[in-house]
Structure 1
């Protein structure tokens, strides 16, 4: 169990500070390069496009077909025979009822999509290309500075 008063921890503190200082400086340097900025904007646009497509495209459509199929005991014939009278009643109804039904379906679709979007963004956070490049750089930096860093066995 190491504490702040432990000599091994005290000797590693400058090394950790140097590591994070070097990482911070490297990220500041690569943020200024146009190629990395372009890559960052492209990755964030692709990330948002994927999250929105999954949340508003796949999940609401899946639920719109899956829930009725479950209620029909996974029998598409029963599902169709249950839905045909509903569709016929929709077609035969007046325009005000049709507009209300369509707005209700739109609100349901948007709420399901927004619900999945929030949790999708939480469960799959954006991975910045700056952080990836910094990880690669810092692995190389650690290899170059390995002889300068004390090992755990020699610090004890």
Structure 2
């Protein structure tokens, strides 16, 4: 090989610094993702104690539950649901909300236990929903009780 061609032989080209910044950015996104998954899958009591996240979570739970109750009532008023299944669905959603909001396992409690505990304000609404669900001769208006359940969810503190 002649000496005049040696000047065209060079070492490997260095990589761009953008790859380094991309790797750093992706690492930070991955760490943020894991942190968000950890925080948002924490049990309710620990998450409620965090100042900003607890408030945001409780508002999100309220909004989601109120929307679900409103959708059930709209299906009931539209004739898609009978009174007993509508009352059961609203009761299930209200109990799930109470569990998410307070940590008390309201899904498995009797009305007397609910009335005696910290969920006492929800007991009359749940009693009316149970009456509408299991009593064929009930005079309970499912739409108005469901509206009361939605109002209870929205005003829960």
Q: Same fold (TM over 0.5)?
A: no
| Larger RCO, structures 1/2 (Cα 8 Å, 6+ apart) | 1
Tell me which protein shows more helix as a share of its residues: 1
Q: TM-score, normalised by structure 2?
A: 0.26
Q: TM-score, normalised by structure 1?
A: 0.26
